[in-house]
Structure 1
């Protein structure tokens, strides 16, 4: 991780769960971290929880990644104020309590695609353009995917609706971006990390209560995986990393 000391990492969906854990882990390892989220008060709480020397290197910015204008403005602020993005952790993701065949659910379905697919695309685009403008050749883009991006597990009481298709899109997007980065002659890496169940706000409490013997990962487990992937030698690119809690049945 030494090569990332004092360089800039941006983490989306930083207000809780995996995003918050990634911010804490990366800033503790010496990076300057910009956490993006819609809930600004949570970012302030995160900064206040950090040791003083780390808090100086953490910046929270309110940003809804489903809004392209906000993404462009936020990444421009990052470049102007902290020097541009070297590592991007695309963590922001949502699901909705709906079914694809349910009436009047267009807003829910659109929100999932805008955040989980377009938000990732926009943040990655702005990061790559920042790297190119600064002639930085060794950036790293991490996408927090899901096992639902590779198959659709059956979980009693939980409907994956458009969440699983959005994550399948991310699986394809990872490969498309790998090819684009390579075709542009850069050494910038891209990694998809696909966790199984993680104990975060995205899993409804009723599922945790209804399904017995439902092992889950901690957010910190995924944050550890992010640090591992970005710490590989220059010639090593982890394209896809799948993490499951011991005992997961799907």
Structure 2
């Protein structure tokens, strides 16, 4: 099999959370071009709808579904809609994530901490559970990919991170725990944690709001969303007997 061949997935269904911009949108676009039926979940569903229009005529199709990944009911409804209207899920990309500007000390904001964990951890767990239920019932050897982060493996001395790294460390642990659970169940569902370094997206701009700092950050080495999407395609292209539990990618010259 060619290193980058998605033949086995063509015509199959992929669900991507946080598909309205950045990494999620780039993954959705590339999977549609590869011939998949992609369901893009997002709160800003109009952005996914615009991308779907742009991708008309490609091998696959993008379906836009409004969903807030911090709300269990939204996730359950999105999976049901997908099964009823597109088909059973074969690939899940847990990309939705939030960061909030606060700290762990005197100005620590309980609600902002909760928002981070509700999306980055609980939403990811709920979506994963629903995908595994469907894959098991339909006997699908699927693939679940968590978009993690380099800060899910080591703590960086960056301002405003508060509980965000803890949420990503949780994703690292959840990936490995799920791998063992799937093995014990005898399921051939793959699980991968994909951990990028700094990426040039709008994500995190609510944490760093100083225009001068934002301009300085633009000068630092950064991955593109398309590079992360390419890594997703690489992971998906592996043959059925190969699993990549963790893939870390960084821009050349990144300082940490």
TM range (shorter): over 0.9
Task: Determine if the alignment matches structure 1 residue 149 to structure 2 residue 159.
Answer: no
Q: 1:219 aligns with which of 202, 225, 233?
A: 225
Q: Is 1:14–1:37's contact at 8 Å kept on the other side of the alignment? A: yes
Mean Cα deviation higher: 196-205 or 183-192? 196-205
Q: Is 2:94–2:147's contact at 8 Å kept on the other side of the alignment? A: yes
Q: TM-score, normalised by structure 2?
A: 0.92
Q: Is 1:208–1:214's contact at 8 Å kept on the other side of the alignment? A: no
Counterpart for residue 32 of structure 1: 37
Counterpart for residue 242 of structure 2: 236
Shift of residue 30 of structure 1?
0.7
- State the SS of the aligned residue for 2:252: coil
Mean Cα deviation higher: 210-219 or 77-86? 210-219
Aligned positions of 1:1-250 closer than 5 A: 1-54=6-59, 57-103=61-107, 105-136=109-140, 138-155=141-158, 158-204=159-205, 206=211, 207-211=213-217, 213-250=219-256
Q: Is 2:35–2:58's contact at 8 Å kept on the other side of the alignment? A: no
Shift of residue 168 of structure 1?
0.3
Q: Is 2:32–2:55's contact at 8 Å kept on the other side of the alignment? A: no
Deviation digits for residues 169-221 of structure 1, max 9, x if unmatched?
00000001101111111111000000000011113364432347411000000
Q: TM-score, normalised by structure 1?
A: 0.95
The aligned length equals: 246
Whole-angstrom CA distance in 2 between matches of 1:123 and 1:209:
36
Counterpart for residue 3 of structure 2: none
- Distance change >3 Å, CA 213–CA 143, structure 1 → 2: same
Gaps of 5+ in 1: none
Shift of residue 13 of structure 1?
0.3
Shift of residue 104 of structure 1?
6.3
Mean Cα deviation higher: 120-129 or 72-81? 72-81
- State the SS of the aligned residue for 2:102: coil
- Distance change >3 Å, CA 173–CA 53, structure 1 → 2: same
Shift of residue 51 of structure 1?
3.4
Gaps of 5+ in 2: 1-5
Whole-angstrom CA distance in 1 between matches of 2:222 and 2:188:
34
Whole-angstrom CA distance in 1 between matches of 2:147 and 2:121:
11
